[in-house]
């Protein structure tokens, strides 16, 4: 299924917070910004940093996982950012 995304949309962010398998393909019609984040290194850094950063990012992870669970229950799972 082809989908058009708007400027500023994050893709694959859910991979930072849940076990995720990417689906489909991505193609751009113009310039696009691509940033790679090594999930294992990101998680290790969050844990090593600890403190308020860890608590905040842990909360974000829990909320993102819950949002993905809701999307899966509604058969709407995808790699797009969660805007709700």
| 0.75 exceeded by pTM | no
Residues 68-80 pLDDT 10s: 888 777 776 666 6
- Measured CA distances, 14 to 25, 31, 49, 51, 58 (Å): 16, 23, 21, 23, 13
pLDDT computed for residue 38 by the predictor? 92
Domain segments of the chain: what residues? 50-79
- The pLDDT profile of the chain, 84 residues, written as one tens digit per residue, is 677 888 888 888 888 887 777 777 888 888 888 888 998 999 899 889 889 989 999 898 898 888 888 877 777 666 666 655
DSSP state of 30: S
Beta strands in 1-84, from DSSP E residues, in sequence order: none
């Amino acid at each position: 299924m082809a989908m058009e995304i708007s400027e500023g949309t994050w893709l694959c962010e859910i991979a930072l917070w849940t076990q995720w398998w990417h689906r489909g393909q991505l193609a751009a019609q113009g310039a696009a910004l691509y940033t790679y984040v090594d999930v294992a290194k990101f998680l290790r850094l969050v844990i090593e940093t600890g403190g308020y950063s860890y608590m905040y990012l842990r909360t974000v992870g829990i909320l993102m996982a819950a949002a993905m669970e809701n999307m899966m229950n509604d058969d709407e799972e995808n790699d797009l950012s969660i805007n709700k």
